Amino acid sequence: MRTLRTNGLVSEPISFILCRGVWMRDDFSEALSSRRCLCTAFGGLRPSWGEPIGLNLYKNVTFAAEMNNSAVRSSVRIVRLADLEPLHVVPATQAGRSSAQAPLSLAWPPPIGSEAAEELMSEMRAAYQGAMASAPASAPATEVPRLPKGEVLKLPVVLTAKARDYARIWIANLLLTVLSLGLYLPWARVRAQRYFLRRTFVAGSALDYHAPPSSHLPRYGLVVALVAGVLGACLGSPLAGLLAFSMALAVAPLAVHTSLTHRMAHTSWSGRRLSFEGRFTAVYGALLMPLVGLVAAAWLTLAGATFHHPMWWMALGFVIALWLLGVPLFLWTYFHYRQARLHMGPLRLGWKASPVAMVMLWARTVAWAVLVSALVVGLGSVVLGALLWWQGPAQGRWFWAIVALSMVAVLAAVTPYVQARLQNLVWNKTGNRSLRFRSRLSVQGYVLLQVRHAALLLLTLGLYWPWAVVASRRMRTEALTVWARVDTEVLKAHWTPFADTSAGLAAKRRASA
Distance CA 58, CA 61 (A): 5
Identify the weakest region by mean pLDDT among 43-57, 66-80, 255-269, 344-358: 43-57
Q: In what order do the strands lie in the sheet with 9-10?
A: 9-10, 3-6, 61-64
391: in domain: no
Confidence of residue 246 (pLDDT cuts 50, 70, 90): very high
Torsion angle (degrees, nearest 10) of CA 262, 266, 267, 269: 150
In a domain, 236, yes or no: yes
Going by pLDDT thresholds of 50, 70 and 90, the confidence category of residue 500 is low
Residue 111 within any structural domain of the chain: yes
Band (39; pLDDT cuts 50, 70, 90): very low
Q: What domain range includes position 233?
A: 212-265+279-340
DSSP label at residue 302: H
Residue 273's H or E segment, with its range, is strand 272-273
Are 145 and 490 a contacting pair, CB within 8 Å? Answer: yes
pLDDT 10s digits, 46-90: 443 444 333 333 333 333 333 344 444 444 444 455 555 554 444
For the cut 90, the answer to whether the pLDDT of residue 33 exceeds it is no
pTM: 0.68
Least confident of 40-54, 164-178, 245-259: 40-54
Q: What is the pLDDT of residue 268?
A: 93
Last residue of a domain, one of 320, 340, 360: 340
Q: How far apart are CA 106 and CA 45, in angstroms?
A: 9
Report the number of distinct structural domains present in the chain. 2
Mean pLDDT, the chain, as a whole number? 78
Classify residue 69: in a domain, yes or no. Answer: yes
Convert the pLDDT of each residue in 361-379 to its tens digit. 999 999 999 999 999 988 8
Query: Mind giving me the DSSP string for 41-74?
Result: GGTS----TTS--TTTT-SSEEEE-----TT---
| Same domain for 220 and 108 | no
Highest mean pLDDT: which range of 68-82, 111-125, 259-273: 259-273
Q: Name 228's Cβ contacts closer than 8 Å, sequence gap at least 6.
A: none
Q: What are the pLDDT digits (tens) for 220-229?
A: 888 888 889 8
CA 240 – CA 334 distance, rounded (Å): 30
Q: What is the pLDDT of residue 100?
A: 47
329 is a domain residue: yes
Q: Which among 297, 323, 340 is the end of a domain?
A: 340
HSE toward the beta carbon, residue 513, CA cutoff 13 A? 6
Please measure the distance between the N-terminal and C-terminal CA atoms of the chain and give it in whole angstroms: 61
Residue 138 lies in a domain: no
Task: Judge if 222 and 114 occupy the same domain.
Answer: no
The C-alpha atoms of residue 94 and residue 128 are separated, in whole angstroms, by 33
Distance of alpha carbon 258 from alpha carbon 255, whole angstroms: 5
- The pLDDT assigned to 104 comes to 46
* Domain end residue (candidates: 299, 317, 340): 340
387 inside domain: no
Structure letter (DSSP) for residue 97: S
Q: Give the pLDDT confidence score for residue 199 in this predicted structure.
A: 96
The 3-state DSSP class for residue 395 equals coil
Do 114 and 232 belong together in one domain?
A: no
Q: What is the mean pLDDT of residues 422-428?
A: 96
Whether residues 228 and 328 share a domain: the answer is: yes
Can you give the pLDDT at residue 53? 39
Q: Give how far Cα 149 sits from Cα of 143, 213, 351, 486, Å.
A: 16, 45, 23, 11
The Cα 394–Cα 54 span in angstroms is: 120
